[in-house]
Amino acid sequence: MNVNTSATLLLAAVLALGVASDSHATAFEQITEFTVPEANQGVGVDERYFYAIDNQAIGKYDKLTGRLVKKWQGPGEGPIVHLDSAMLMDGKLYAAHSNYPEWPMTSSVEIFDAETMEHIGTHSFGVQWGSLTWMDWHDDHWWMTFANYDTKIGPGQTPYGHKANTVMVQLTGDFRPVQSWTLPKALLDRFEDMSNSGGSWGPDGFLYLSGHDPAEVYKLTLPKSGSVLKLVEIVPLNIRGQGIAWDRSQPGVIYGILRATALESAAGIGHRVTVSRMTENR
């Protein structure tokens, strides 16, 4: 057996196991970043603005200058308690929402007017698959992940749903479920006790997911059979997990966040939104 044949067989074995190799076909270069106090959970983006998401706040910022344009602030004790990722479509901001870390887990989609930042609608899933962490519109369907966790914050300090129960659901435009998939073990292992926090369909037709903390995104496809998403690559990205969003007005540009660490906060360094461009390794 020659060297080329051996390498080909090794790569095939690695991919069959659902583990990405160290050679990346995809890479990212950072374009810029903005210091944004609301960039604690996720980010959404449209043609002119990006929208930084905190648990009970959304800041609308000019993409060119980073200037705050408008802000929605929740009432503190209101029904909106844990916003997560967001996506923009047809002048509306759709935000994933859950009651994390309360029990039982409940989830909803919260809808805002992107121009005025007024809350204009909601769709409740009640107690169903877990905690909704991200949503996106692709191929005429909604795609959402309902996360579960191994972190012991459930009843009696039990795992909060068990991360293996994390599920990505495809839904119709009126939120009726169509199909669902679980995540490969290689991803679950990287999440440690947490789960999938962000997701967005890329311009290359692949699904990109992020974890709760790692500085990387996961490039996946739907499986040809079975119920487990197929991992294609693990790609470094300057984020600390949380929500991500592809900019559909600038193909190949992706937004993410750097949630400030305790040491950074003590040094006066706040949360940041990062903007990166997809490249190809040659």
Q: What is the CATH number of the domain that holds 222?
A: 2.120.10.30
CB atoms within 10 A of CB 256: 29
pLDDT in tens, 115-153: 999 999 999 999 999 999 999 999 999 999 999 999 999
Percentage of residues of the chain with pLDDT beyond 90: 88
Q: With CA atoms as reference, report the closest residue to 247 among 28, 54, 3.
A: 28
Q: Judge whether 18 lies within some domain.
A: no
Contact 256, 212 (CB under 8 A): no
Q: Judge whether 20 lies within some domain.
A: no
Q: With CA atoms as reference, report the closest residue to 199 among 254, 152, 151.
A: 254
Residue 271 vs residues 7, 274, 276: alpha-carbon distances, Å: 43, 10, 16
pLDDT at 78 (0 to 100): 82
Q: Judge whether 133 lies within some domain.
A: yes
Q: Which residue is listed with tokens 């997911």?
A: 209
Domain region containing 126: 25-280
Q: Judge whether 1 lies within some domain.
A: no
- Bigger pLDDT: 29 vs 18: 29
Q: Judge whether 3 lies within some domain.
A: no
Q: Is 60 exceeded by the pLDDT of residue 3?
A: no
Q: Judge whether 17 lies within some domain.
A: no
Mean pLDDT of 60-86: 95
* Structural domains of the chain, count: 1
Q: Judge whether 61 lies within some domain.
A: yes
> Distance between CA atoms of 2 and 186, rounded to whole angstroms?
30
Q: Judge whether 31 lies within some domain.
A: yes
